[in-house]
Structure 1
Amino acid sequence: MLKYFLPAGRLTHVLGNPAAKDILSRPLVKRRREASFLWSKWLTRCDDEHQRCQVEADATPSRLLFLGSDDSGDGDAFRLVDCPPVGEKTLRYAAFSYCWGGDQEYKTTKDNKSAYYNNIPHEALAPFKSITDAIHVARRLGLSYLWIDSLCIVQDDAADKGREIGKMQDIYAGAYVTISAACAQTSRDGFLDSMADDSLDFEMDYPCIGGATGAVFLTKDQITSDRDDQPIDARAWTYQEYFLSPRVLVFERRKVRWRCFTEAHEDGGHDNDSGFKLLNSGMLARMGPAELGREWTLAVERYSRRYLTVQSDKLPAMAGIAATDRRAISPACGSRAWRGSWRGTLPGATRGA
């Protein structure tokens, strides 16, 4: 038991326990499928209280995946639906960010597109656990629509791909929430069954102020070392998807994290607004050309370390971030200032190459 008193350990509580008034930190949620109350809490708080997280996109995806409804008995009746254009009826949807892990075996093509508007068999999706997990999360958040690139873009139609990729910035910016399968290497892996090791916690009674007896856990904290070692961090497209989304629910190997333009939370730790928050266009607009240039350079450096299956996607996979940065600064400084903010760094970057 002494190992729990190492400097890396921490004292934690579970939600609803009397000890919660005295102990701020919570242990990891062991069973992710039972933790949707926590995801919903973060999302509802953001939707109700965070003005800066309310983003209106300039365009919508051409189509979405309709998830059916467990209550109506059509819970397995997945199908594609056309998305109304901006200004008409708004369909609240989640966007999915994940690693393909090679060419997708199950995708929308010219041959099956019409059939998928009628029905996408549940048994056909079942082997692709990341996709079925995303459907589960979206439903638990009360959403009936989900955007998944492999299904919502006609993969062998160059015109359709070009049109939808051109709207990628708005697709993720306009999503009610983005679900990030950070710990899954492929679409078959899934991300809801990844959880913390039960052996890391030791439970003990805790005498609370007022006489009640609560319970606390001595936790050996081994959850911080793998934050930058998630499979999704190696894929180029997902960098833009994370950056552009106003709200992201990130499923890592040992932890679930929430990031929005206002707050940062995690399922194990403190329930407050500390930690890294997403940058939004408003924050970028308050930066001067030099500071924005540094942000852009940092973004390019991080992006350049990532992997692309299709090399011709190199510019499209970064275009949304470039457009966000450019639009943020040009009202105040003009496009010349935007270009000049990083142009001066190029000679130094290539010197000695």
Structure 2
Amino acid sequence: MSPPTTLKHRDSLSWGSFLIERFQQTTTKHDDLCHAVTNEYCQKQCNGCNKIADLLRWGEAKRRKSPTFEGCSEPHTMHNSYRELTHCAKASGCETCRVIRRAFLLEQITGQDVARLEHIDDQWPIQVVLSLHAHGDSLLFTCRPLHNAPFTATIALDRTPRQYDHNLTRGGARLLTSFDELRQLIEDCHQHHECSSRYRWSRRNPTWLLEIGDSNLVRLVRGPRHLVQYVVLSYSWGDPAEMPSAEWARIKGAGTKTKNGVPVDERLNPFFASELPETMQDAIQIAKLLGFKYMWIDNVCIPKGTNWDTEAGLMHEVYGNAAFTLVASSSTKATDHMLQQRKAWSYRSKAVKLRGQWLHNTEMSLDKVRTESPVARRAWTLQEERLSPRVLYWTGQRWHWSCAERQVAELSQLGHRLCAAEKEGRRSPQLFLELCHTGDGEQLHEEWLDIVQAYTPRDLVEPRDRFLAIAGLAVRFYSSKAEGGGSFITEEYLAGLWRDNFARHLSWSVATAADSTHNLQHIAPSWSWASLPLRVETRTKHAFRPSKHFKFISVVHELVDPAIAAVSLTRIGGDEGINRARAAEERGRGVKIVEVEGRFRRFVLNEAINADWDSLEWNRGGRTGFNFSSFPGQHLFSRNRSSGRIISKDAHSGEIVGQLDYLTPSDRQDAISLTPFVPYGSEKEIMCLELGELAMLLLVRSSDYEDGHAEVYRRVGVATGYSSRKGFFYGCETKRVRLG
């Protein structure tokens, strides 16, 4: 849709303003969607909400014909823009529009999202669909801006009014956060839950803390000898490519400078918190209002010149010993405010009824807050969350609290203790700590794979921090295995994977082949997910049964500090065990070549022909498959050049579909200089190593390593779940293979 020619002489008027003005000029009181009257429930109801009533009539008719009917209506336009909806809620007093407006706002995690929703130049009609389902009926609202992802909102429908845990009308609007309830919640956790006794790592404080004083003053102090109650901030620095250079310089400049290895006097003496970026300022204010005297912020409390590798290995202590971790989910960058007016609570909450149905705002799940906030795009914040016994997520409209025993959303119905069934069905941020505490080895490995899957799509300012950003998680994992009471352990950290379940960890795959030009194989070996480029989506979860033929033999080559290599990793005990766990993590970063044993064969037979992918793949009704009828009795292979999927099929057997890690560059010169991919025409050079009963590693011979006469292979992909070809490795030799 483009602006009409009549807009050319209206330079001072934006396109969004023009649309609203034109609408107001052409509508009459009869078709004005904002015109409201009192309905049968003594509530204000506008013409736009009459459209919703029409949908409810449609639903009633469907249910009269078939009580078990499930489906969705056609979309109806109930308001011409979000700004019109807001105007109706305010000026017309339409109760239903107020509930819908709140639903849109509660779906926005950051303040920037709210600003985008309200932007006058990006206003488009709000459409509503009635969804009828056995598990519950709902109204689904959508507003689709021209250049951005659509805004959505959901209203649940019920025949009975819902009982709220909070009287949302008491005290009027909740535009500013009330800290009384939150303070009581945190205190209750500290006094009555087992979070501290179960998950606190030690009684040590971080090396440096911010001491919060009066009159907006703070100062950097050494962590006291006795453990103090401090708050940790987890936040996103922001993307330097998306902000002015001066703004990024201000964020970086918040770091503490040192002189002769000691923080400068400007930080050791009291200074105004307002000198720090806005997210840090507000986090300090929140901690103070909740009664805490100390705070830890990475950029401020790790002085420049500090051994970064050492500090990264201590993150399990920094976060594990904190009173709680404050996650700035509302901030897209460090210069965004956390404390702001929360527009979702502009109006008193009332029970709203429409054609016999009560309308209820649905709750945003904690999982959505965790995975869709800007913090979730930063690699460092993953371990910050999963190493924290208590987490407070601060979004633009409300806060969410999570500890091992309770999850609460402000002004909601979620304020109840979790029963066992709820814990099983809901993924807790503290699950990693719980498994480390119980020592459930099998589940702990599965949780590590979940960590990998959540970690690889995230971004790092410095790619060299690939291992450092999860070092605390690795130390915690190793310690949980090493503190079982035995004198000797076999577990070993291997470039982001673990020895005790090495075949399972090797079977990760990419969602689609990555750009090989940005690989990190200078940081990690090809068989490690850490060698992938940043921001690559991976798949680590699939049914896996280990092969009895696969064995891990040894680490062949590693690049590691001799002082670390000298530490024995077999005998564990006391504080010495903590040091060994850190040494195990540091040593694991440098592993480059390992030797394994398993059944080994070619992936594609020499006599196979190359078939066109499009001639084999079919797609019907969302289902995909392959048709080999044009190639009877022939060995063949095929490759999808856009996704990296690859097929190998022997003449009279089922097919195997694999996933290559990297695309082949279109520039042939790149194809000569870069190594992680399989050039076109080289598919028959791919070898495969059996990992599990239905899992194999795809490999090619490597010339990157000089290792005498031993063959070293690099990983190029993986294949899993090939149930139509279970006997692929039958009769094949078992071979020792070195992976680099």
Tell me whether the two structures share a fold, i.e. TM-score over 0.5. yes
Alignment match of 2:379 (pick from 233, 236, 239): 236
- Given residue 266 of structure 2, which amino acid in structure 1 is its aligned partner? A
Alignment match of 1:9 (pick from 144, 151, 155): 155
The residue number in structure 2 matching 1:286 is: 438
Using the TM superposition, name which of 220-229 and 250-259 deviates more: 220-229
The residue number in structure 1 matching 2:563 is: none
**1:144-163 CA-partner distances (Å, limit 9, x unpaired):** 111111111113x043x344
1: CA distance between counterparts of 2:269 and 2:404?
Answer: 37
1:346 to partner: Cα distance: 4.0
Q: How does 1:123-142 map to 2 (within 5 A)?
A: 123-125=274-276, 128-142=277-291
1: CA distance between counterparts of 2:456 and 2:384?
Answer: 15
The residue number in structure 2 matching 1:64 is: 209
SS at match of 1:171: helix
Query: Does residue 342 in structure 1 map to residue 489 in structure 2?
Result: no
Say if 1:273 and 1:82 are closer, same or farther in 2 by CA, change over 3 A: same
1: CA distance between counterparts of 2:258 and 2:440?
Answer: 47
How many equivalent pairs are there? 324
CA radius of gyration, larger in: 2
TM-score by length of 2: 0.40
1:137 to partner: Cα distance: 1.0
Structure 2: which 5+ residue stretches go unaligned?
1-44, 53-95, 100-136, 139-153, 241-247, 419-425, 493-497, 509-526, 528-696, 699-716, 718-740
The residue number in structure 2 matching 1:106 is: 254
Q: How does 1:43-54 map to 2 (within 5 A)?
A: 43-54=186-197
SS at match of 1:344: helix
Query: Does residue 190 in structure 1 map to residue 337 in structure 2?
Result: yes
Query: Does residue 181 in structure 1 map to residue 333 in structure 2?
Result: no
Say if 1:241 and 1:347 are closer, same or farther in 2 by CA, change over 3 A: closer
1: CA distance between counterparts of 2:166 and 2:180?
Answer: 18
SS at match of 1:94: strand
2: CA distance between counterparts of 1:223 and 1:58?
Answer: 36
1:122 to partner: Cα distance: 3.7
**1:175-208 CA-partner distances (Å, limit 9, x unpaired):** 11111101211111022226353479752499xx
- Give yes or no for contact 1:261–1:280 (8 Å, CA) kept in 2: no
The residue number in structure 2 matching 1:221 is: 362
Query: Does residue 295 in structure 1 map to residue 447 in structure 2?
Result: yes
Query: Does residue 75 in structure 1 map to residue 215 in structure 2?
Result: yes
SS at match of 1:239: helix
Say if 1:286 and 1:226 are closer, same or farther in 2 by CA, change over 3 A: closer
SS at match of 2:408: strand
- Give yes or no for contact 2:174–2:346 (8 Å, CA) kept in 1: no
- Give yes or no for contact 2:398–2:409 (8 Å, CA) kept in 1: yes
Say if 1:117 and 1:294 are closer, same or farther in 2 by CA, change over 3 A: same
Say if 1:80 and 1:280 are closer, same or farther in 2 by CA, change over 3 A: same
1:254 to partner: Cα distance: 3.6
Say if 1:58 and 1:257 are closer, same or farther in 2 by CA, change over 3 A: same
The residue number in structure 2 matching 1:148 is: 297
Structure 1: which 5+ residue stretches go unaligned?
13-18, 69-73, 207-216
- Give yes or no for contact 1:248–1:258 (8 Å, CA) kept in 2: yes
- Given residue 152 of structure 1, which amino acid in structure 2 is its aligned partner? C
- Given residue 407 of structure 2, which amino acid in structure 1 is its aligned partner? A
2: CA distance between counterparts of 1:38 and 1:11?
Answer: 29
Higher strand proportion, which one? 2
Alignment match of 1:203 (pick from 350, 353, 357): 350
1: CA distance between counterparts of 2:165 and 2:266?
Answer: 52
1:231 to partner: Cα distance: 0.2
Say if 1:203 and 1:282 are closer, same or farther in 2 by CA, change over 3 A: closer
Say if 1:343 and 1:205 are closer, same or farther in 2 by CA, change over 3 A: closer
1:325 to partner: Cα distance: 1.7
Work out the percentage of aligned pairs sharing the same amino acid: 22
The residue number in structure 2 matching 1:209 is: none
Say if 1:347 and 1:165 are closer, same or farther in 2 by CA, change over 3 A: closer
2: CA distance between counterparts of 1:99 and 1:305?
Answer: 15
